[in-house]
Structure 1
Amino acid sequence: MITGEIKSKVDKIWENVWAAGLTNPLSVIEQITYLMFIRALDDQEINNIRSKTLLGADVELIFPESDIGQAMRWSNFKFRNADEIYNIVSNFVFPAIKSMKHGKLPDFDEHGKLIPIPDTDETKDGFDFFAKHMSTATFIVPTAQVLEKIITGLDDLYTHDIANLDMQGDLYEYMLSKLSISGTNGQFRTPKHIREMMVKLLKPTPQDIICDPACGTAGFLVSAAEYIRDNHSEKMDKNDWKHYESNMFSGFDTDTTMLRISAMNLMLHSIKYPQVDYKDSLSKQNTIHDVYTICLANPPFKGSLDKETINDELRSITNNTKKTELLFLALFLRILKKGGTCACIVPDGVLFGSSKAHVALRKEIIENHHLRAIISMPSGVFKPYAGVSTAIMIFTKTQAGGTDNVWFYDMKADGLSLDDKRQPIEDNDIADIIDRFEHIDSENERKRTEQSFLVPKQEIVDNGYDLSINKYKEIEYIPVEYPPTSQILANIKALNEQIMADTAELERLLNE
């Protein structure tokens, strides 16, 4: 749990970077991310040395044994003066990380020139995964003094406040919450509590293969990983953990900055070998079919693509549309295994749009697969990024129909105010949503005037496959009885007389 004190310390580090002229939140997070990783390497090295010396384990060390190699360790350079720290980090540690292989940092010759690690067939590990996405990274902390302040601040956090892996993840999540500019890039960071709700609705198991083809900072993958650890870790065997660390989680993005951040985010949650890579999920180069058992995503809402680059299979399902929100739905159907389930966030327009592409896609899901639920969310969920109205769509790939009744839920509150401040409030429908979805058969008796209800497939078909909740929700009008006009006038007259009397009394007191 990140407390107010820890947030204050993080904010202080942030302010130091900001004051030095680095004002893009994404860039700030990137630079702090690199330093968190550098410290994590030294923590791992301490564990390696302990295992090697005390237990006699055959463990390869991360840092070269040379003077330069040992100077690159966080525990050694953090005590130096600001200029020395800046020289070590910018000229040695950072270039070494970009050339890291097989969990080892390269050494430098006597002239300070990097000595590359030879390529081998050795299996890459989690550090190589991070280094792969570091290939285009740049170190842009502006001054030695700012770097020293960041290192001092992070070291204080880790020494006194960050006690375990979960807290490291929470710390990173708090930093990611500062990405308030993300909406301008079309990358809306999904709030953690919404991600966790979607994961709880699907209940992933250690056997699942989970994908987010528009992964951004890998938030959905992290939430799924946390759910599995919290609910299944005691029963997981060696093979389950191997699957968890490697093939269970996949994600793709076309933003290399986001991939670097997602790499760090996943590493902080013990996911060592995730299948996260640079890929345009909607392009012809993506040929993935029938691989995943779960898809969790909040794909891009805005924009359209060059039709020539779009995968032909996706175009055929969506009537040649270029709208990304529709193409991603078609992609989910293609990459899921038969029996696999998707929970994704869609803009409201997907639910009721009247274009041929909109109707064709809704018809495909309803007629040829199993549409299970539509959860309408309030428009403030994505503030302060945007006030867009969205819904969660849950469906299972069957290729043989199966839609009987569709469950609708009108979410009114998510536990936070729906303004830009997003402060905690008491009203929260999330627990009710999860409980009712788990006991969906009991929803049969619910009336259309209630917050959730079932709608038969045929009624949806008759309405042109419209999935907007307002199409089916009934509003109960309760008549309000007002007093007769004569009584209202009498009340107004009495109020005026009281006002006149009070005014006269006030004048009397002022004149005494």
Structure 2
Amino acid sequence: MSDIQIKIDRITDILRRDDGISGAMHYTEQISWILFLKFLNDFEINKADEAVLNGKEYEFVIRKDLRWENWACPKDENGKLDVKRALTGSDLIEFVNRTLFDYLRKFKNNNNDPKSLKYKIGAIFEFLDNRIASGHTLREVLDIIDTLDFQSSDELFELSHIYENLLKGMGSDGGNSGEFYTPRAIIKAMVETVNPQVGETIYDGAVGSAGFLVEAFEYLTKPEKKSKYSASEWETIQTNTFFGQEKTSLGYVMGMMNMILHGIESPNVYKGNTLTQNIRHFQEKERHNIILANPPFGGKEKTQIQQNFPIETNATEMLFIQHFMKMLKVEGRAAIIIPEGVLFQTNNAFKKIKQDLLEGFNVHTIVSLPSGVFLPYSGVKTNILYFDRKGATSKIWYYDVTPPYKLTKNKPIAYEHMQEFVELFKNPNKRNQTNGKSYEGCNDWTVSINEIIDYDISAKNPNKIVEIEHLTASKIMSKIRSNDLKYKSLINEIEKEIHG
């Protein structure tokens, strides 16, 4: 176990003892804001050093007395913690709650540029509270986090993956926290198949912990790609590639922190309810090249929200589908996770939305995910829906993901279970082009739009259909009599055993 992992584990153990912390959601949230402020301090120091080398002066975002080095862990002349200036106990809690948080929250109100660092800091702290009740607990945590070096790329890389595991643990904690975490194996497969390129914008209208945006960033910045980028291309990736919205304050904090730790310095992600936007008003310049998302489903929206959509329905997932359809640029491509019910339900709203989708977009691929993908917090069967804005649908290629074991909390889906799908997606000539029974173990099939009845686009794997033997009435009666004789024979044998 690495030194950083040991430190993070120590912090979670310390926080579990605090009266203000209840479960993984709370301690992950609290670790997040403290890590963020330490990262921000190291980030600004690094920027200041770069400015000096260029003969310039850096203007700090955080005022001097409220920088990490002056309140969290002030040092003496020997570089050790200055115990005279380092607050603890009730003094520390009062300072954080009344002075520090109040100062950071005002950043958003005092700044009109949503892309600025100040605005993003204000947005993060606007709905965030310090839940740590004991100042002595907080002092312990600050002292440990102070030893982390965010100016070290290796340490930052390792910490980003440890943080990812914290988010995963938060999802496993149950409740609604699962909505913030989508299994990395699925995200990785979705990103690889939409194949983002520099200069394209990537959008997630339900960001959660930002797994899709982070994976897309890592895909774009693989070492062999990153080394070839020009300064302007790198600037584009950092400032004009990643876009999204997150409704919940907890999700927003987690997502921003996750992106920052992975190296996305300026994501265009904002806190807000995506569904409050009237999609009739979207213009092409506001749309995106790529949409990747796992929107919330199973929820019910009020009439006021429904009125923002041409086809009104209270089903959250159907409103999100309409939103994503309107947010996709011409020639753009989308991959979103949806509950299976979307595919087969044919009530008026579901049917009409699917009609618009099939006739206005090219629904080219549907992936049937196995049950248990989102355990332990949801047992809903899900699918990945792929579509692009390149004309109407002519045929749909289906793939049925079939792990060799039943998925559980302790035996989750792995990337290897998605590899055949990714391979076939990238090589259409290798796909099963028919909708008939092919061969044992075949996981894919293709359906022509002419074969789809009543807009039911659910995945029906022809290779898993059990052949039904149609018998005449006389043969059925003969089978019943034969079975009846067998049952009587078995009962006689059992009775003989019982009575000796």
Same fold (TM over 0.5): yes
Question: Partner of 1:51: helix, strand, or coil?
Answer: helix
What is the CA–CA distance in structure 2 between the aligned matches of 1:311 and 1:239, rounded to whole Å? 41
Q: Which residue of 2 aligns with 1:255?
A: 248
Question: Partner of 1:409: helix, strand, or coil?
Answer: strand
Amino acid at match of 2:429: D
Contact residue 214 and residue 252 of structure 1 kept, 8 A: yes
> Which among 394, 398, 404 is matched to residue 394 of structure 2?
404
1:80-138 deviations in whole A, cap 9, x for unaligned?
4597245457516984465359xxxx9xxxxxxxxx99957889633541332212322
Q: Which residue of 2 aligns with 1:309?
A: 305
Question: Partner of 2:253: helix, strand, or coil?
Answer: helix
Structure 1 gap ranges (5+) = 107-115, 480-512
Q: 82-91 vs 189-198, which deviates more? A: 82-91
> Which among 245, 264, 268 is matched to residue 238 of structure 2?
245
1:47-70 deviations in whole A, cap 9, x for unaligned?
245335555443234554569885
What is the CA–CA distance in structure 2 between the aligned matches of 1:350 and 1:97, rounded to whole Å? 43
Q: Which residue of 1 aligns with 2:492?
A: none
Amino acid at match of 1:17: L
Structure 1 vs Structure 2 CA RMSD: 3.6
Q: Which residue of 2 aligns with 1:271?
A: 264
What is the CA–CA distance in structure 1 between the aligned matches of 2:258 and 2:346, rounded to whole Å? 39
Q: How does 1:19-38 map to 2 (within 5 A)?
A: 19-21=17-19, 22-38=21-37
Amino acid at match of 2:139: E
Structure 1 residue 333 and structure 2 residue 325: aligned?
A: yes
Structure 1 residue 418 and structure 2 residue 407: aligned?
A: yes
What is the CA–CA distance in structure 1 between the aligned matches of 2:294 and 2:109, rounded to whole Å? 40
Q: Which residue of 1 aligns with 2:14?
A: 16
Q: Which residue of 2 aligns with 1:283?
A: 276
Question: Partner of 1:381: helix, strand, or coil?
Answer: coil
Question: Partner of 2:399: helix, strand, or coil?
Answer: strand
Q: Which residue of 2 aligns with 1:380?
A: 372
Q: Which residue of 1 aligns with 2:81?
A: 79
Structure 2 gap ranges (5+) = 470-500
What is the CA–CA distance in structure 2 between the aligned matches of 1:81 and 1:478, rounded to whole Å? 80
What is the CA–CA distance in structure 2 between the aligned matches of 1:301 and 1:168, rounded to whole Å? 31
Change (3 A) 1:294 1:416: farther
Question: Partner of 2:460: helix, strand, or coil?
Answer: helix
What is the CA–CA distance in structure 1 between the aligned matches of 2:72 and 2:353, rounded to whole Å? 54
Q: 141-150 vs 60-69, which deviates more? A: 60-69
Contact residue 93 and residue 135 of structure 2 kept, 8 A: no
Structure 1 residue 201 and structure 2 residue 193: aligned?
A: yes
CA apart distance, 1:228: 1.0
Amino acid at match of 1:18: R
CA apart distance, 1:292: 0.6
Contact residue 48 and residue 60 of structure 1 kept, 8 A: no
What is the CA–CA distance in structure 1 between the aligned matches of 2:432 and 2:411, rounded to whole Å? 34
What is the CA–CA distance in structure 1 between the aligned matches of 2:456 and 2:463, rounded to whole Å? 13
CA apart distance, 1:431: 1.4
Amino acid at match of 2:446: L
What is the CA–CA distance in structure 2 between the aligned matches of 1:187 and 1:142, rounded to whole Å? 27
Q: Which residue of 2 aligns with 1:154?
A: 145
CA apart distance, 1:204: 0.5
Question: Partner of 1:359: helix, strand, or coil?
Answer: helix
Structure 1 residue 475 and structure 2 residue 477: aligned?
A: no
Structure 1 residue 91 and structure 2 residue 95: aligned?
A: yes
CA apart distance, 1:324: 0.8
Q: Percent identity?
A: 25
Change (3 A) 1:301 1:241: same
Contact residue 339 and residue 381 of structure 2 kept, 8 A: yes
Question: Partner of 2:179: helix, strand, or coil?
Answer: coil
Q: Which residue of 2 aligns with 1:464?
A: 454
1:141-183 deviations in whole A, cap 9, x for unaligned?
1212211332344345659998343223212211111223454
What is the CA–CA distance in structure 1 between the aligned matches of 2:405 and 2:148, rounded to whole Å? 28
CA apart distance, 1:27: 2.2
Change (3 A) 1:165 1:93: farther
Change (3 A) 1:349 1:289: farther
- Count residues with an aligned counterpart: 456
